[in-house]
Structure 1
Amino acid sequence: MTASMFTTDPHTGDRRDTGIIPTDAAGVIAATTTAAAAFAVTRASSRTWRAGLLRALADGLERHRAALIEAAVAETGLTAARLDGEVSRSAFQFRLFADAVQEGGYIEAIIDHAGTTELGPAPDVRRMLVPIGPVAVFGASNFPFAFSVVGGDTASALAGGNPVVVKAHSSHLVTSQRSFVALAEAAERYGAPTGLIGIVYGQQAGALLVADPRITAVGFTGSLATGQILQEIIAAREAPIPFFGELSSVNPLVITTGALRERTATIAAGLFASVTGSAGQLCTKPGIALVPAGAAGDVLVAAVVALAEASTPQTLLNERIHEAFGDIRSRLVHDGRARPLIASRSGENGFSRSAEVLEIDAAAFSSAAAEEAFGPLVLIVRYESVSDVRAVLTAIPHSLTATIHSAPAEDVQRRDLTDAARDVAGRIVYDGFPTGVRVSWAMHHGGPWPATNTQHTSVGVTAIRRFLRPLAWQDAPTDVLPEELRDGPAALPRRVDGMLVLPPGS
């Protein structure tokens, strides 16, 4: 008989049996088979039906809020307040996608009527984005709701008309199970087909899920090493599929001399809060801060160190992250030649660590000092010129974000820094901090490899684009066309014969 899986409370290190059995090969096949059957229904569903489903799922989360937070507090070490906000964010994501589905612009409906062109007679061609098929979603350790079973990958895949099979994260098994129940109950109550949402447990189940021929895309948030393993499984498939991975990011932050003259204390406090929020376990944490050499920079560094020394150890998500944090710090010091500015401290209970502040001169910076430290650690790089900043950014792996703090009068330097950051990040933040990602239409949460391996975002409305594919109908009879591509008034924006046509009453 297969043993059930254990969960661990990071606050104490205590383990308990969840009663959850790892999913075997037959269980994975059952999940993907029912997902494929559900796809026959969801791909033909109307946008109105799909929008209603997403709102029903958001309501289901709200009904289970207390039980979800209770489980996550015991499994992640995150605070109830942070987790409550994350449940709200997850519900908001479902409702935002519902609005986008109802509006309809995301399908990029285009109609080119038959006619005579400069190149001669042309056929009638109509095009839009259609669902891709069952999607595998891997839950993330640091966001048990917003990037896991009830997270943005799930919401955007469902919004596109695709069933989802989630691989539960081993660090929060009970949270994942309760999250699945919340969605499954809401989907059943709404009248959605069986198999619309599925879940599997265990590392082997995750590998089998990615290899299953019924899965048509994978959404993953996690380590670069695990992401590369999943890519290898996909490459071995008879028909490779898209892999949308968010993998690694150090998120450089640059501070100018002018910014220090205006607001050193404010920047120091904001930087420390951004580095240590959620115990530094956010994918957008600014892990490297470039600070001018000299007295003004010394004042800022001293302020950050004072905040770190006054802080108490924070609980990390799990034992693996706790151990890796110490190992990475050691490598940054010994291989990267960074100088520790405060003594390293661990908490007395569970998997806790204190904030760490390291420092290095830009002239000594190398790729060995550019490793992502997942936890409350910042490496301060002291630079002399914009050319130093460019050299450091070249040595840093590409990131989700880059941040620039400058003074209003530093327009030339700000443009130079923007030019340096443009090719190394997916989002440039000015005079703020990259943590706290807005869920909106314009947000881009992605970046050049290894931040992600895709041109698409995993946060915001355009995340839906990952799980759609273009399909064109040429000289098609009206009865086979989707409603969105038929002639006459339409309740969505379309491009007709090259002209943008808005819905009546817009």
Structure 2
Amino acid sequence: MSPIDTLHPILVDGRWIRAGAPTGRFRAVDPSTKRELGGRGYPVSDWPDLEAMLAAGRRAAADMARLPAGRIADFLDTYAGAIEARAAELVETAHRETGLPTEPRLRNVELPRTSGQLRQAAQAARDGGWSRPTIDTAAGIRSVHGPLGGPVLVFGPNNFPFAFNGIAGGDFAAAIAAGNPVIAKAHPGHPGTSALLAEAALASAEATGLPAGAVQMFFHADVGLGLRLAADPAVAAVAFTGSRAAGMALKAAADKAGKPVYVEMSSVNPVFVLAGALRERGTAIANELHASCAMGAGQFCTKPGLAVLAPGGHAEAFVEALRHLTAAAAPGVLLTPRSPQAVADAVARLRSAGADLLAGGGIADAAAGHAFQPTLLRVSGRRFLEDPVALQSEAFGPVCLLVAADSTEQLPRIAEAMEGNLTAAVYSDTGGADDETYDALERILRPRVGRLLNDRMPTGVAVSAAMNHGGPFPSTGHPGFTAVGFPAAAIRFSALHCYDNVRHHRLPPSLRDHNPTGALLRWIDGEWTTRDA
């Protein structure tokens, strides 16, 4: 048997096939032991593999545009059930590849979230309201959001092997719900998990009659080929979750080619703790902040990487409590072999910009696997304002920077120096003593973040129709869209289809005079209604 025959096949046009002429190969690594996992290796695909996926994706896009929404919804529902049926195997594989705990994280939280958001996407597709049917009877013009006409390229991140996986996560679900095929790039941090999900996706597609190229997946490709793929004329849109450097490179390639690109990149998610809150419940908030920073070893895009403290003696007590918690905490497992050094580099940048190290700060002992010490740093408000860009460098690990304001009047200036973020949180006195300061901060923070929280850490992201998991640059590439929550997430992967004086029988069902379901909400002659036109 040749070395190529031992590599895991890739999913192309409805079939698992051998990678044509891989430019390399890799194995999954257990980050808790630093050891390669047994079994098959995984191919680094060359351009002919990707080109075949593009051709299949274009064919599938034409077929999916003619499918009834109920067929797409059936696939998403069936896929959710298939994931649940293979839960034990998926959880065990993801645990080995990521070091994330089986319970509660993988089995009880992330896997149910994944199947749940697939079902929410199914409901959005079946209901059709996400497409915003609009009818102007006097002008004879009608419009609706519909598929893009090509495959959506989805790059999954390393930190959510299920819920953001390129072949199963939120971007995948949204793209499919909008009627588009998906070409998924598995993350090399959990290739076996992605392969199991792809098997379930293919079986579900076959069972529900989706076109052969509706779901496709490759494991890895050289950086240059990934950028070439994102810019290819056959690609309809790109979705990416990961580092700012990689996201900006993809965005540049897609922008140059005129492709819609949705990138989630970098966010420090500032938490402001005001004077009344520090006085009233400072120790409790310190415990909340520590737990939020330590969760998942700090590898969440909504981790509060920066906390701003109002001045005073209660702030010093808060710092000391948090320092003790951080120093006493055990290192958590980081997701990839490169992660410890990447976190160390980020901490070094913060220190070189003027932050003082209070606890941790180093790569953890090898016995802990790929790990970094829980780390706390501090900088004055004055110093932060002298170099706010460097002091907002994201450390994707168990690291938090405290910014100690020199005066209450300085807090709004610190808020004004904040880059665009996914979230910001403000803790204030429950009796209203901080209301004036809060009002001043809210006016500044509101346009700088996607989600504003009160008295709650930002780490959890509910899969809710009202959720915004997005934000201004550089947290994402566009402030107007969310990667979580249906029906809104599906809008990203749609085009606005307008029909002017088109004969009635040629219109999509949602734009004909008769309401196709009787319950579909449509904008007809200036009002939202379920009535017939």
Find the partner of 1:221 among 217, 236, 241: 241
Query: For structure 1, which segment, 272-281 or 103-112, has the greater mean C-alpha deviation from structure 2 after superposition?
Result: 103-112
Does residue 154 of structure 2 align to residue 126 of structure 1? Answer: no
User: Alpha-carbon deviation of 1:373?
Assistant: 0.7
Among 144, 157, 169, the residue aligned to 1:151: 169
- Aligned partner letter, 2:235: I
For residue 506 of structure 2, the aligned residue among 480, 483, 487 is 480
State whether structure 2 residue 449 is matched by structure 1 residue 425.
yes
d(CA) in 1 for partners of 2:132, 2:255: 30
Name the structure 2 match of 1:118: none
Task: Flag structure 2 segments of 5+ consecutive residues without an equivalent.
Answer: 5-21
Equivalent residue, structure 2, for 1:101:
125
Q: Per the alignment, in what secondary structure is the counterpart of residue 207 of structure 1?
A: helix
**Alpha-carbon distance between aligned partners in 1 of 2:176 and 2:338, rounded to the nearest angstrom:** 32
* TM-score normalised per structure 1: 0.94
Query: What are the equivalent positions in structure 2 for 1:35-434 lying under 5 Å apart?
Result: 35-81=57-103, 82-84=105-107, 85-114=109-138, 123-132=139-148, 133-148=150-165, 149-204=167-222, 205-237=225-257, 240-333=258-351, 335-345=352-362, 346-349=364-367, 350-365=369-384, 366=387, 367-408=389-430, 409=432, 410-434=434-458
Structure 1 residue 89, shift from structure 2 partner: 0.7
Deviation at 1:134, TM superposition (A): 1.0
Q: Which amino acid aligns with 1:52?
A: D
User: Which amino acid in structure 2 is aligned with residue 494 of structure 1?
Assistant: R
Q: Retained in 1: the 8 A contact 2:412–2:440?
A: no
Give the secondary structure class of the aligned counterpart of 2:45. coil
CA distance in 2, matches of 1:447, 1:292: 25
More deviation, 20-29/83-92: 20-29
Give every structure 1 segment of 4 or more consecutive aligned residues whose post-TM-superposition deviation is greater than 4 Å. Answer: none
Conserved 8 A contact 1:111-1:125:
yes
Percent identical pairs in the alignment equals: 36
Kindly state the Cα deviation for residue 235 of structure 1 after the two structures are TM-superposed. 4.0
Contact 1:4 / 1:20 at 8 angstroms: preserved in 2?
Answer: yes
CA distance in 2 between partners of 1:269 and 1:59 (Å): 38
Cα deviation, residue 99, structure 1: 1.6
Q: SS state of the match for residue 452, structure 2?
A: strand
The alignment partner of 2:450 has SS state of: strand
Give, as a single letter, the amino acid of the residue that structure 1 aligns with 2:453: V
| Paired residue type of 1:483 | P
After superposition, the C-alpha distances for 1:449-503 in whole angstroms (9 at most, x for unaligned) are 1000112111111111100111111111112100001112342011111122126
Q: Given that residues 311 and 407 in structure 2 are in contact (C-alpha distance below 8 angstroms), is that contact kept between their aligned partners in structure 1?
A: no
Residue 117 of structure 1 corresponds to none
Offset at residue 236 of structure 1 (A) = 4.4
Deviation at 1:27, TM superposition (A): 1.1
Q: Following TM superposition, by how much is the alpha carbon of 1:194 offset from its aligned partner in structure 2, in angstroms? A: 0.6
Give the counterpart letter for 1:219 in structure 2: A
SS of structure 2 residue aligned to 1:341: strand
Pairs aligned (count): 493
Which residue identity lines up with residue 91 of structure 1 in the other structure?
Answer: S
Partner amino acid, structure 1, of 2:380:
D
Answer whether contact 2:31 2:337 (CA < 8 A) is retained.
yes
Structural RMSD (CA): 1.6
Q: Distance in 2 between matches of 1:230 and 1:342?
A: 36
User: How many angstroms apart in 1 are the aligned matches of 2:145 and 2:316?
Assistant: 54
The answer to whether the 8 A contact 1:219-1:245 is kept is yes
Which stretch shifts more, 18-27 or 284-293? 18-27
Pick closer, same or farther for the CA change 1:343–1:284 going to 2, 3 Å. closer
CA contact (8 A) 1:153 1:219 kept: yes
Is contact 1:200-1:206 (8 Å) kept? no
Distance in 1, matches of 2:143 and 2:451, equals 30
Asked if the contact 2:100–2:296 (Cα under 8 Å) also holds between the matched residues in 1, the reply is yes
Q: What are structure 1's unaligned runs of at least 5 residues?
A: 115-122
Tell me the distance in 1 between the aligned counterparts of 2:397 and 2:515. 54
Deviation at residue 274 of structure 1 after TM alignment: 0.7
Q: What SS class does the counterpart of residue 436 from structure 1 fall into?
A: coil
Q: Distance in 2 between matches of 1:67 and 1:503?
A: 48
Q: After superposition, what is the alpha-carbon deviation per residue over 1:311-332, rounded to whole angstroms, capped at 9, x for unaligned?
A: 1111101121211101111121
Cα deviations by residue, 1:135-182 (Å, 9 ceiling, x for unpaired): 000010111111112100000000000000001112111111112112
Verify the 8 A CA contact 1:490 1:503 in the aligned structure 2.
Answer: no
Residue 290 of structure 1 and its aligned partner are, at CA, apart by: 0.5
- Residue 492 of structure 2 is aligned to residue 466 of structure 1: yes
Once structures 1 and 2 are overlaid, which stretch shifts more, 159-168 or 170-179?
A: 170-179
Q: Is the 8 A contact 1:338 1:360 kept in 2?
A: yes
**2:10 matched residue in structure 1:** none
Answer whether contact 2:425 2:458 (CA < 8 A) is retained: yes
Following TM superposition, by how much is the alpha carbon of 1:347 offset from its aligned partner in structure 2, in angstroms?
3.0
Q: Which residue of 1 aligns with 2:522?
A: 494
